[in-house]
Amino acid sequence: MVRILLHWLVNAIAVYATAHLLPGITIRNFAAALIVALVLGLINALLKPVLVFFSIPFIILTLGLFMLVINALMLQLAAVFVDGFSVQSFWWAVLGSLCISFVAWLLAAILNI
């Protein structure tokens, strides 16, 4: 249970840091980042596997780069559901998803979780 909470906190920190690094992504406060991390986790657990399954031909054709599109769409969908979090465009969502992934990976490696 503690491990899940740590992952949630790491993802919230990654979302918050990304919003402060990229001008195309805005967030109201850290509480909104916690909600975004929760919503992203739910979206990635429930919707992403279905999208990946139906996108397999595109993923193979683009050698996996289509996953960037799927991740960006998941981030934009989270912005629709969470008040106080916004993503200006698709390209900011692509860059934001890359940044969130990198920061979360870096923090998880530092914390060894």
Residue 96: pLDDT over 90: yes
The pLDDT assigned to 113 comes to 85
On whether the CB atoms of residues 14 and 103 are closer than 8 A, the answer is yes
pLDDT digits (tens, 9 = 90+) for 52-92: 999 999 999 999 999 999 999 999 999 999 999 999 999 99
Residue 25: DSSP 8-state = E
3-state secondary structure of 85: strand
Domain boundaries in the chain?
2-111
**Model pTM score:** 0.91
3-state secondary structure of 1: coil
CA dist 75 and 87 (Å) reads: 8
